[in-house]
Amino acid sequence: MLNKLISKWGHKLKLQAAKALTLSVFLMLPPAVVAENPPVHRYRQANGIIAFSDRAPKNRPYQLLRFDCFACSVQSAVLWHNTPLFLQKYQQEITSAAKQHQLDPALLRAVIHAESAFDAKALSKSGAAGLMQLMPETATDLGVTNVWHQQQNIQGGAAYLSSLLKRYKGNIKLAMAAYNAGPGAVDKHQGIPPYTETQLYVERVVLLWSRYQKAI
């Protein structure tokens, strides 16, 4: 089961340039905006037509689309050393999942921050959904029946993260690289893959982890 799950992950780097170009044309956004990987809000208008906007609609449910995870943008303008932390959100769910899967709660919180910025409605163009950005097929394998259910999403992501840490003998950086680029890429390069996005992702998660350890 573990190998099956690991072989199916690695959803962050595929066809990102094509996705960004497609959505930028569809939304008529300038290239400079697309390069920053802004969130896009998808919602249904009163007339039933699906609309997209860079602003959250008022009094309407919406889904937050991203080109990739929150901490994946190469040109991110976020100041990672002092960006506000999420110290209270989903406290019970994170504590429970961390205990069940023998994870540091600070690390689990850092990964959620990096993946979705604690937005339970986050949805990437590749289909990764929820707080820990689970792909539908992987979520099913992990026993997650509803990726939008915060507790299920965190439990599923924690289970997968735990499996990666066991695979890489507790090496946090390799586990984070695999969470982002897929274990296949980590195994192929026998270390963190030479992808700028993945290298930055690992660096940012480790930084967030350190900050959460000190704060909670």
Domains and CATH numbers, the chain: 2-215 (1.10.530.10)
Kindly name the residue from 115, 137, 197, 203 that is annotated as catalytic: 115
Q: What is the pLDDT of residue 11?
A: 41
Residue 183 has pLDDT above 50, yes or no: yes
Q: How confident is the model at residue 68 (pLDDT cuts 50, 70, 90)?
A: low
- How far apart, in whole angstroms, are the C-alpha atoms of residue 98 and residue 107? 9
Residue type, 1: M
pTM over 0.85? The answer is: no
Q: What is the pLDDT of residue 66?
A: 52
Q: What is the pLDDT of residue 19?
A: 37
Q: What does the buried/exposed string (b/e) look like for 170-189 if buried means 16 or more CB atoms within 10 Å of the residue's CB?
A: ebbbbbbbbbbbbbebbeee
The larger pLDDT score, comparing residue 114 to residue 8, is at 114
The larger pLDDT score, comparing residue 133 to residue 14, is at 133
115 is a catalytic site residue: yes
